[in-house]
Every structure is written in C-alpha cells, then in structure tokens.
Amino acid sequence: MVKPKTEEEIELLRENAIIVSKTLAEVGKWVAPGVTTAKLNEVAETFIRDHGAIPSFLGFEGFPAATCMSVNDVVVHGFPSDYVLKEGDIVSADIGTLYKGYNGDSAYTFPVGEVDAATRKLLDVTKASLYKGIEAAVAGARTGDIGYAVQSYAESFGFSVVRELEGHGLGKEMHEAPGVPNFGRRGHGARLVEGLVICIEPMINSGGRGVYVARNGWAVHTSDHRKSAHYELTVVVRRGKAEQLSTFDYIESTGK
C-alpha cells in the first residue's frame, strides 16, 4: 500500500537523509587511485556511527558490509573489498542509515582520478536523468511518469536503462511501496500522493541493458562488462514540485 508520511515523519527522514548525504561526501574525500573499496566502507561506517546512526545495510538479508561499493561494470550491490581503485575507474557508493527508527538511502558514482570522455558523459547523463525523474515526482502523477522521464533522457544519449532493479518508498522500512522503475509509460503505475517519500535511483549502462548476478548472490554486473553508473536521492512528493531530502551539495562543494 502506498502510504504518505506525516510532516513529523518527513523530518525524521530528512535527518537520516542529511547524515547519508554527508557520509557520501566524506567517502568522496577518500576516493582516489590506490585506495581500496574496503577503506571507503570503513570511512562510511565510522562516519555514520559517529553521528549516532546505524549503517542499515550491514546484515540486511545477509549483506556483509555497511555500504555497497560497486566498481565499473558492477551496477549495484558490490561488496567492499581489497580491490585497489585505479585511475579511470568509477565507483558507486550506496549508503543507508537507520536513525530514530527511520531510514536514509542515497547513492553517488564517483570518478577515480581522471576518467575518459565517454565515462564522464555516462556519469553526467545518469545524474541528469535522476533530476529528470525528480521533476516528474509530483502529486497526481504516476510512477510511470518518473520512469519515462529517466528512460527517455538516458536513451536519447545512447545509454540503456537497467530494468531488473528500481527505486522504492522509504520510511521505517528500507524498502516500502511503491516500486519506482527507471523506465515506463506516462500515466501508468502507482499514483503519487502528497507526502509520499521515495528514492529515485537511475542505474544506467554505457552498453546494453542486460545484467547478471554474481556468484555471491549480490553484485549485479552488466552482461557486456561495460561501465554502469548509479545515482540516488530521497524526495518527498509534493504538489507542483518534489522536495529533496538528500542532496549532492556536500559532495559537489568538494569538486567531485
């Protein structure tokens, strides 16, 4: 059931969103050639706990880490590891918190050092497609309007949209109704009501849209092993214009 949040609940979700947003910025300070994704995970977990929150991903359905660290052809759900980041890599950091009984959830794909023009375009288009989706997240619209906005923008640049994974509602549970696909048709899907809190998270591939799950049962890779980018923000559905709870401002003020 699609359930809007009270203004009191939205403020608790906002507190989580700000912690997550600041955690992503802290991780971004460490992203560089020679750093392991395990180190990025450690930085994130320490920052989350130092701010009184719990890393909600840790132990979720058996997930073994505080964050998802997905490098290059890993779309989402990558395990932090001893992998050493290299110049030209990209790494998606997906981070969740549990604070005062509510959840936070956002993601950002960082370039490692200098990336080539094609990779930079993938990052820019994926992030822009997220904002296109947010523009469509208004009361009275439907989830298909969000999906259409993301899909039509990303595909206009020759990129492809992962269809097996989607955004979601957020509240006391990490994943609530409705599902928020990154593809769709205008006027279709669940209706968006004022006060609904959702995570919009385009996962865009530089090659084909096919994906597969690794043997560990978590990491989702592109079938053609070309790079994939992932950005996620939490928003409140409002009349006329969605309200962002999480933000990339903390990251982008550092020049990432």
2 in a domain, yes or no? no
Q: What is the DSSP string of 40-61?
A: HHHHHHHHHHHTT-EETTTTGG
By DSSP bridging, strand 228-230 and strand 203-205 are: antiparallel
Angle between helices 117-135 and 143-155 (to 10 degrees): 160
DSSP state of 176: E
Residues in the chain: 256
At residue 254, the pLDDT reads 78
Distance CA 85, CA 251 (A): 19
Q: The CATH number of the domain where 191 resides is what?
A: 3.90.230.10
At residue 255, the pLDDT reads 72
At residue 111, the pLDDT reads 98
At residue 1, the pLDDT reads 78
196 in a domain, yes or no? yes
At residue 207, the pLDDT reads 98
For residue 197, the enclosing domain spans: 7-252
DSSP state of 243: E
1 in a domain, yes or no? no
234 in a domain, yes or no? yes
Distance CA 231, CA 109 (A): 6
Q: What is the pLDDT along the chain (256 residues), one digit of tens a residue?
A: 789 999 999 999 999 999 999 999 999 999 999 999 999 999 999 999 999 999 999 999 999 999 999 999 999 999 999 999 999 999 999 999 999 999 999 999 999 999 999 999 999 999 999 999 999 999 999 999 999 999 999 999 999 999 999 999 999 999 999 999 999 999 999 999 999 999 999 999 999 999 999 999 999 999 999 999 999 999 999 999 999 999 999 999 877 6
Q: How many domains does the chain have?
A: 1
At residue 256, the pLDDT reads 65
11 in a domain, yes or no? yes
Helices (H), ranges, 74-195: 117-135, 143-155
Say if residue 238 is exposed, middle or buried (CB neighbours under 10 Å; 0-12, 13-18, 19+): middle
149 in a domain, yes or no? yes
Cα-flanking dihedrals φ and ψ of residue 207, to 5°? -110, -135
Distance CA 177, CA 137 (A): 15
| CB contact at 8 A, 142 and 180 | no
